Amino acid sequence: MPIAGSIVKKFFSPARSLMNQLTYIQKFILISALFLLPVVLLGFGLVSEIQRNLAITKVEQQGLQMMSNVFKLIREASEYRDRSIILRVNDKKEIREQLEEQRLKVERMIVEIHGTVTAFGDSEIDHQLKQVHVSWKQLNSYSSGAQGGPHIQFKYYDSFVRTIQALVDVIGYRTKLVHDPNLNTFLLINMLSDDMPIALRELGRSRAYGVYALNQMSVDHDTYLQLDEIYDDLTDSFHLLSNNMGYAVAENQKYRIPLQRGVDRVISGVLQGRDLMYDEIIEADRRVMGWEDYYTQLSNIHAGVYDFVDELIGIVIKQLDDRANEERYKLNWFVILTLGLLLVIIYLYAGMYRSIHDTLRTFVERAKSVSEGNLDITMPVQTRDEMRELALSFNGMVDQLAQNQKDLVEARKLASLGHLVAGIAHEMNTPLGVSLTALSYLDDKYTAAGKLFAAGALSEKDFNELMTANEESLDLIRRNLAKASNLVSTFKMLSVSSDSEKWRHIELKSYLYELPIRLDLSREQSDRVIVVCKDNISLFIDEERLSTLFSVLINNAFIHGYGSGEEGEVTISARLSGENLLITVEDHGRGVDEALAEQIFDPFVTTTRNQGGAGLGLHIAFNIVSQALFGQIKCVSKLGRFTRFEISMPIDFREH
């Protein structure tokens, strides 16, 4: 097991080293990115496939639109052909004008198709369209002015239709229509590209040759053979269309009814055209139907076939639209599900990150509070993972620290009390000892004078010496007892606990400007106190303790900073910092050395003991700030340059 553990440790060592260099947010971003990368790549591939299918469908739709225009061109060209045939046997102005109008219509149609092809941007389709244009010019040049049978027109018309048919094939190939994997769509497209042109060609031949024959006094042998051939071709077309189109209808159950109706219309139209040609021309004993009626009936059959072509194109377009919508539906749902999954993953990752981050941040904040001395704090136990153990361990540590601090405070209190009692005893011992010595000396003088007086030997000199000793001793006793009384008053100030009944609201700016009057400073000292307070600060505070604090600090500056006879200013500044008030009291006098600055708030620390200083002023200031004002005070000083006392306290003391 130790060997396995060592191997595992070495294996994960690089990963651990990498993670040690990253913040938590960087770790989560890195791991999330690596986790989501395969999902993103898979999704990108799927989206690309769907987009490719959509692009193919769009190209197919464009191809169908071009096919629709091509069939319209075939229709208009067949009209032009048959009108030119009519013109051969009926050279009338009206027919000639109709032929010219039809020719212009065909040319406009070619121009429109050319615009569509150019917009599509395929060179092969464009090349085949140019061949159609050349074939049209050939057909057009032989469509008027010549007399005789319709064979010449049909020769060039068939050439023109073959180029159009080739254009249809190129469009189907280049726009993926003939490669459509969907069987239903594929069969319908084959009907468009193969079956419909056959039906239209044979019906067109029957109309053209029938009109030509009905315009003759008698049908010549050549034309009769052509009509007989057309009859056979129409019969063959009937069987071919029945099989092919029936199979296509059977495979398209969704559109079976409209397709079946259209197929029936086409097949019946082929049979009707065949039978009409047979009954009225081939086997007719005499002419009953005029060419105009025959032309109209065949044109109606033609129109029915073209209507079915339009319906067929519409059905295919609808199928392509349905497929495109299905692809878009899949794409939209994939995007929605992917985004939803991604949002859930991000949400859970964010929750996990926030859980760890908040726990660690709370731990850091409370650890800082503990380092600042606040032991009345615990970590909330909100999770069931390793962070729970961390919180419980932290709380146990804080409890132990609080107990240790309590024991230490008690020990320090005892030590401080002993030091304070010793200091008080020392300070009181001197004036009381001097007073006792003076009383003892005075008692000896009175005892000696009493003996001389009893013996009748008390001289005037002795009496004068007794009076002098009495005055000196009483003066000495009076002065030392007064000093002892002042020391007792000062000692009483060491107790600075704040009474909440004395708290009240004050406006700090006006309070500071009135401070010299409140402290009863001399005129000379008042002029040397400078106040800097820009903020309008409202305090809820113990004003009496605040005044005592300023009195101690200002007197300390005048006595110790500048000394007797020296001039200099004491600057008091105040400003807000969040919910705390920051106050500084600064002088630019003698300053103190570093060693003294470290113990300047200790009791009985003074540099003017020979001048009567007891060393309790700054200790009292410290107690006022820490106990009565619930703040902190520190001394910053440079010897010979300045001394600055920095105080931080809350604005509102009620919560304390």
Report the alpha-carbon distance of residue 435 to residue 477 in Å, rounded: 5
Per-residue pLDDT at 489: 53
Per-residue pLDDT at 146: 47
Assess contact for 71 and 309: CB atoms under 8 A. yes
The DSSP call for residue 557 is I
Mean pLDDT by 10 residues, the chain (656 residues): 68 69 70 72 69 73 79 80 74 81 86 84 86 82 56 72 79 71 72 78 82 78 82 83 78 81 84 87 78 87 85 81 79 80 73 70 76 72 67 75 63 50 60 76 76 76 76 76 62 55 78 82 81 82 80 81 74 84 85 74 64 65 80 85 86 64
Rounded to 5 degrees, φ, ψ at 278 are -70, -45
Assess contact for 254 and 237: CB atoms under 8 A. no
Per-residue pLDDT at 563: 67
Per-residue pLDDT at 493: 52
Per-state percent for the chain, helix, strand, coil, to nearest 5: 75, 5, 20
Task: Reduce the DSSP state of residue 503 to 3 states and report it.
Answer: strand
Which residues does 607 contact at the CB level (< 8 Å), separation at least 6?
A: 560, 592, 596, 613
Q: Output b/e per residue, 365-378; b: 16+ Cβ within 10 A.
A: ebeeebeeeebeee
Of the candidates 443, 544, 460, the residue with the CA atom closest to the CA atom of residue 499: 544
- C-alpha gyration radius of the chain: 59
DSSP for 570-587, written as a single string = EEEEEEEETTEEEEEEEE
The DSSP call for residue 652 is B
DSSP for 437-468, written as a single string = HHHHHHHHHHHHHHHHHHTT---HHHHHHHHH
Report the alpha-carbon distance of residue 129 to residue 113 in Å, rounded: 8
CA angle 601, 606, 610 (to 5 degrees): 165
Report the alpha-carbon distance of residue 28 to residue 22 in Å, rounded: 10
Torsion from C-alpha of 147, 151, 153, 159, nearest 10 degrees: -160
Length of the chain: 656
Locate tokens 């700030």: which residue?
625
CB atoms within 10 A of CB 293: 13
Per-residue pLDDT at 34: 72
Per-residue pLDDT at 414: 47
Assess contact for 75 and 306: CB atoms under 8 A. yes
CA 198, 215, 92, 149 dihedral sign is: positive
Which residues does 360 contact at the CB level (< 8 Å), separation at least 6?
A: 24
Q: What is the pTM of this model?
A: 0.48
Locate tokens 């304390």: which residue?
656
